[in-house]
Structure 1
């Protein structure tokens, strides 16, 4: 009723309307609707007034009276607090915010704090007040600490900001609302405590930065520079130098090293420049300066010696390669190449080089080494050798052979280098003793162990099987030892079954030089028993050649057995050379028949691609030994193409051509022609015109018109057989092609062609792919309905092709050949004969419909027959 009353009197003056609201609220003080409407009316009335106007104070009092009963309504609090913020009543506004937070439930506080924080950001708000309010806010919203930190930084309160950052970094549950990582917060903290060391009190800056160095390894260089910068701004320059040096000796990346080294160099140059400007006797004042980054710091140092500063800067520059090498080795202490580079840095300083070598060989783990660890030991020993200290070099080698290297070859290399050093100093007996010691089998050797079990042990237990070591040892024995000692070493290598084909060849050559032929052949026998193809090929080659060279034909049967054994072991693709050697042996010292047997076995054994050259040699030797009869037998065997004498098609054709040439020379023209006919099926006239040219020349020289025509007929037949595949392909393509004259053909860019139309029509008449109708289609009436049989039995006429090329049939050619001997008179007489066309009676064809030929069914046939008879 009160609301309807107020609505009815809404056109009265504001004073009377306010009285109505007051009366209504006195009766209904808990009406939220009446209070909201009343306060809105009052706020509308004071819009635009000065903050000092009395109406605003009356409105404030109205809000206060409303909050007596409406203190749980956040909307009224927000309107009231916004009004106070606009009036810039700091104390009253702050207290009203506190009252609102006390009156409203905690679920509504976020709405109040948004306006409260906005109020704190206004100019004129005391910093202490804002800081205290923010502390209260962080108790309910600890995740908004970054807002407080940003506020503190804007007010240049570096100490509280640093402490807040420390809390945020130490709290593992803290999650940045701005998306910052712990690493970024650390860097922000470092920037504050290093740039403002005097404001940051109560914090252990050194401990904070060092913990960051341990935790964030990707920014180590920057954190070390920040710590040194902190001491520089404090005026503690020697402490800053210590920090720089500690950073240079602990970083493990080149990027961090470069950052620290460049910063330290710049620091020393700045101090030196300041000292030069102020004089050697003046101490730098404790006043602010500017570094290269534009940052303020105090330049103050107790020293006043310019020469000392110059020497310090020069020494720092000279130490850079050494410091960088230390960084690389800290990054990976097992990098052998870096240790070698470090040794070269101290060239001319033997003491440092010895220290470096000692540190290297004691640091690098053989199982983790990157590079060849044995080169460090060898370089260490060679260093003593170059300085004339052979005894210490031997001590180094003695320690090196006890190192558990990862690979057997590394340990063998150390032994060989030790022996090489002894040889260079003319200690031949020592070198031989070293090799005997290295190749001696372990005393507790278990022969029953397998290769896998033996590899699991240290390399020292497998050293006696090192081929590198035995090769060096046998070279020493050949040069310095006796014949018996050298043979013993070679025999040990063979007994251990570690020999290579080259070792076998060297051993046999060594025995042959000393005229021990049979022992050399025994070595060859052991070699061929040890290896398989292809490794045994060179051993057999040397064995057979040396045996034949030594005995010739005196031990022919033994040589034959060796050749047969070699051929039995050899694969077909590696047997050609052995067959040729065997055949040469038989030709020179044996029987021609045996040589022919070798050649025959060769053409049966070698791969098809290698048979033709062997056939040529086989034929040449057969011609020399046995004459034409044997040659013809070989030719016939080769061209028949039966396993295992078969050749490739190309080689068979070439063989036929050579056979034909032989028969031609012997005057056997018919035999030569028959051979060419046999080979004609392998020669495509389109791709091999040489064969047909040769045959044509042969017919011109030895044939007649009949044989020439027969050759041409065979040529056409072969060409047709080779083109059959292409013909079938064209038929399939024509079947799948769009119908000529259709829309698809026109769209494809092709014009309608009469020939294409005829071919398509012929294909549609036949259900068999590749079949072309002769113009008549016959069907079985018994297979068709009675009403459709006569229609389907009718002959189908195909339009004549205007571009058809009329060729004489084979029968016509035969008739022409048969009448060729009658002379020109008979041909002239036949030319005057007038042929008449006569219809064939129907009875000739019986009851089969569609059999009667007609001129329409085969257009042009009569004309072709007339022209053939005329010719």
Structure 2
């Protein structure tokens, strides 16, 4: 500083100067001297503080006053800038461990940067670095705050280098939350902003690898961290040659990292990748990635997201090409536009198939999706693709895991084989269809029923093709496939520990089809043809899988070819194998057949007695009636009646079986018995039967049944002029139900009195009727009125139904006293 000292000092300053000459190391004198100088005398104030710092070079207080004063009076010139810098450098010789001196210096450098010399940016960066070197690490955060602001203002290569250094010297805790400063996510974003793509990639990879260890304790998820970074690269990552530029392979690598880490976010990641290539106008690569994403996604949500985005992308490309502004588009442009339109149409048409690919990939054993995919090709008349799908499905599906979520009965693995063969059969290519079905039976299935279905379908195909002999051989092969002839009958059809092929010969469905097939070829009654059918039935019995229906069919077959006695033997065999109630139908048919073929009477009687000895009461009625009718047709009506009585007595003893059905059977047998007794004109026997119904079986029959028998008994007695007995019977049956439910009985009694009674008996009937109503009313009131409560003054009365009396045929009116 070239200042004129004569013009600076005043007479008042002489005393302070004299004091300082005597004691130049008295700090209080320097401070009093400084404070005594008016603020307007800037030069003297500067001179005093400069001399004071020379006397006390380690005094932070003096240097702080001095530097602050120099900054306040500095001008925006290069010389002024240098002058202040020199003073700061002089201060730092002694105070290089004071962070606030460095902070003041660095703030001045940054503030003076716009009007400093051209190399000031490098100088300032070096000053920040010197501060970090001189100060302990515990105080670095005081410097980094300004240093990062400086980097934000400068950007570019300097900004990248500053942030790179910040990451080297900062602790992880400083990069975890915004409360402690700038987060690691923000650092990476800054690097991208400054064009430091390669550096940002290095930092990102390091953080991504340590994400799960909580090394950085990130506030956002790892997926969000990845997507935010890729978004930054796409929107701002143009980069520079010095610190790297964004490359296609970098984006691809980042997306692949995400796909490996988050396979359930495939749509989000692929759309980020396509967004990048769309922004760089690399449309072929974007299309490729859309298509790849559709094929690799795992959920319907991802599929819909990618597909809709793909369609929007194609529409935007077409719109851009169509609206390019060219008045006369070139041939190449028109061709490209047509290609894009065709591609979009194809994309929309292929949506069902693409979605089918996804659903099959999700669950390759879901038969619903395979059948739906085939139906799509069939609707498009694409037979070749349908056949390819059949073949792929049958080689992909695990037979033991095949299932139909829709529970559609036609969506089964056997049906898949059958439909595959029918494609060829529908074009009369029976040979190929037969080859398909021959391969199907070599596969494994969850149940032998599946294999049976295929055998039957294959046989039916050969029948349709006219190969009758082969059709029989196919089923014969399935029925005789036995792993061990000695133990074939011990194999259980539902034993899942054995393969379906080992259990196939125990399928009643397959044997039934086989026998029906053999019977259809017995046209001429040749012994060898009949014998083959019989052998099949015998094998069925030997395998212990025969059913009552098989027994009946076997016997009918023998009867059809006049082997009646042998058919009876089969009935007998079936009765030994099956017990009631299963054997009931066999007995029913056997007895009818024996009677029809004129078997001797005693043998038939023995069969009836054997049948009834074991027959449950609820099944005995048709057997009893058949037996009774058989004796009646042979002229033995009394024996017929005896059989009915024996059957009734047996039913009466079955007290535990008194159900509604049991009562019906007993009622019907009584009715048949009465009819047969009336045929004999045995009045006493009929009367005894009616009396037995009322005296012994009140608890066996229902009230309605007893009333019905009572009315018939009354008609019977009236037909024999036993009117008093009839009246007594009316009184008896009127006690069986509430009087209001006996309208049929009252009407019948009234007609009885009009036909067979007189005025007095008619009155007696009316009095009895009123008495029953009154008694029933009292019983109802006594049940409905609790003890301790007062009965209502006007109780509800069950009124006797109003009856319009019929006019007698004679003109004289009968006057009935109703009192």
Contact 2:627–2:643 (Cα < 8 Å) also in 1? yes
2:594 to 547, 552, 569: 547
Partner of 2:390: 357
Secondary structure in 1 matching 2:640: helix
Partner of 1:490: 537
Partner of 2:173: 140
1:505 counterpart = 2:549: no
2:414 to 364, 374, 377: 374
Contact 1:162–1:189 (Cα < 8 Å) also in 2? no
Q: Distance in 2 between matches of 1:723 and 1:561?
A: 59
1:525 counterpart = 2:572: yes
1:330 to 361, 365, 368: 361
Deviation at 1:607, TM superposition (A): 0.8
Q: Distance in 1 between matches of 2:301 and 2:596?
A: 71
1:750-807, Cα deviation, whole Å (9 max, x unpaired)? xxxxxx4xx69xxxxxxxxxxxxxxxxxxxxxxxxxxxxxxxxxxxxxxxx9x99xxx
1:672 to 726, 746, 751: 726
1:638-692, Cα deviation, whole Å (9 max, x unpaired)? 001448x832233223323332332233222333333334334323224335435
Q: Distance in 2 between matches of 1:431 and 1:608?
A: 53
Normalised to the residue count of structure 1, the TM-score between the two structures is 0.62
Describe how 1:744-783 pairs up with structure 2 within 5 A. 756=790
Secondary structure in 1 matching 2:739: coil
Q: Distance in 1 between matches of 2:681 and 2:582?
A: 39
2:561 to 500, 507, 514: 514
Deviation at 1:161, TM superposition (A): 8.1
1:481-515, Cα deviation, whole Å (9 max, x unpaired)? 52222222222223323233433333333222222
2:690 to 621, 630, 635: 635
Q: Distance in 2 between matches of 1:667 and 1:121?
A: 132
CA RMSD of aligned residues (A): 4.8
1:461 counterpart = 2:483: no
Question: Per the alignment, do residues 658 and 640 of structure 1 end up closer, same or farther by CA in structure 2, a change over 3 Å counting?
Answer: same
1:578-616, Cα deviation, whole Å (9 max, x unpaired)? 222222222212522221122223434271244333322
1:418-465, Cα deviation, whole Å (9 max, x unpaired)? 222221221112222222222114252424745278541111111112
Describe how 1:236-251 pairs up with structure 2 within 5 A. 236-251=282-297
Secondary structure in 1 matching 2:302: helix
- The more displaced of 183-192 and 273-282 is 273-282
Contact 1:684–1:722 (Cα < 8 Å) also in 2? no
Deviation at 1:125, TM superposition (A): 7.8
1:479 counterpart = 2:520: yes
Describe how 1:720-739 pairs up with structure 2 within 5 A. 720=775, 723-724=778-779, 726-732=781-787, 734-735=788-789
Partner of 1:653: 707
- The more displaced of 558-567 and 156-165 is 156-165
Q: Distance in 1 between matches of 2:149 and 2:674?
A: 113
Secondary structure in 2 matching 1:451: coil
Partner of 2:262: 216
1:617 counterpart = 2:672: yes
Question: Per the alignment, do residues 581 and 308 of structure 1 end up closer, same or farther by CA in structure 2, a change over 3 Å counting?
Answer: same
Deviation at 1:535, TM superposition (A): 4.3
1:46-67, Cα deviation, whole Å (9 max, x unpaired)? xxxxxxxxxxxxxx979999xx
Q: Distance in 2 between matches of 1:314 and 1:699?
A: 95
Question: Per the alignment, do residues 176 and 498 of structure 1 end up closer, same or farther by CA in structure 2, a change over 3 Å counting?
Answer: farther
Deviation at 1:368, TM superposition (A): 0.9
1:263 to 293, 299, 309: 309
Q: Distance in 1 between matches of 2:691 and 2:216?
A: 96
Describe how 1:693-704 pairs up with structure 2 within 5 A. 694-695=748-749, 698=752, 701-702=756-757
Describe how 1:95-110 pairs up with structure 2 within 5 A. none
Q: Distance in 2 between matches of 1:656 and 1:121?
A: 116
Q: Distance in 2 between matches of 1:657 and 1:62?
A: 138
1:342-365, Cα deviation, whole Å (9 max, x unpaired)? 345555555544433332221111
2:717 to 653, 659, 663: 663
Question: Per the alignment, do residues 649 and 283 of structure 1 end up closer, same or farther by CA in structure 2, a change over 3 Å counting?
Answer: closer
Q: Distance in 2 between matches of 1:718 and 1:337?
A: 70
Q: Distance in 1 between matches of 2:548 and 2:145?
A: 91
Secondary structure in 2 matching 1:731: coil
2:736 to 682, 691, 700: 682
Question: Per the alignment, do residues 389 and 711 of structure 1 end up closer, same or farther by CA in structure 2, a change over 3 Å counting?
Answer: closer
Contact 2:192–2:236 (Cα < 8 Å) also in 1? no
Partner of 2:458: 418
Q: Distance in 1 between matches of 2:541 and 2:676?
A: 42
Q: Distance in 2 between matches of 1:508 and 1:63?
A: 128
Q: Distance in 1 between matches of 2:540 and 2:145?
A: 92
Q: Distance in 2 between matches of 1:634 and 1:118?
A: 123
Q: Distance in 2 between matches of 1:311 and 1:175?
A: 52
1:30-57, Cα deviation, whole Å (9 max, x unpaired)? xxxxxxxxxxxxxxxxxxxxxxxxxxxx
- The more displaced of 409-418 and 589-598 is 589-598
1:727-771, Cα deviation, whole Å (9 max, x unpaired)? 143124x54xxxxxxxxxxxxxxxxxxxx4xx69xxxxxxxxxxx
Contact 1:190–1:223 (Cα < 8 Å) also in 2? no
Q: Distance in 2 between matches of 1:318 and 1:698?
A: 87
User: How many residue pairs align between the two structures?
Assistant: 636
